[in-house]
Amino acid sequence: MLLYKTLLTSLMVALTACEAAELLPAQRLASQNGNNENKALLEQEIARMLNQDSILLADDVFVDSSEVVIERRPLTDDAGLRIQGRELQAPLHFRLWKQGNVCLLEYVATGEMKTIHGLGCTETEAD
């Protein structure tokens, strides 16, 4: 009987969690129009999420896609040669979302979502 109650409680919690997720306002994949102000906002927020002073992104970041994958800079010696031939860490993956009038940046590895105030973005088709 105790096992039955435990399973029933677990099922109810799981169903409640699913319902709660469905009740959230819709998030849609988004892209931005590629102006310098938007790029600067994205660079600042990604650097914050990575605990870096700064990061350099391409001019067309998030313009034609709602996702960006950033390769890590390889470690080099004083002569500029790679210390290790293969990069062992995964690249950094980010997604841009739109929820109502707000643009959100997701760091996929951690699931962290940040609102980017002042960023202009538009809904896009799924990548």
5, 14, 12, 127: which is closest to 66 by C-alpha?
Answer: 127
pLDDT tens, residue by residue, 57-111 = 988 898 888 999 988 777 788 888 877 766 677 889 999 999 988 999 999 999 9
Tokens of 72: 């890590």
pTM for this structure?
0.69
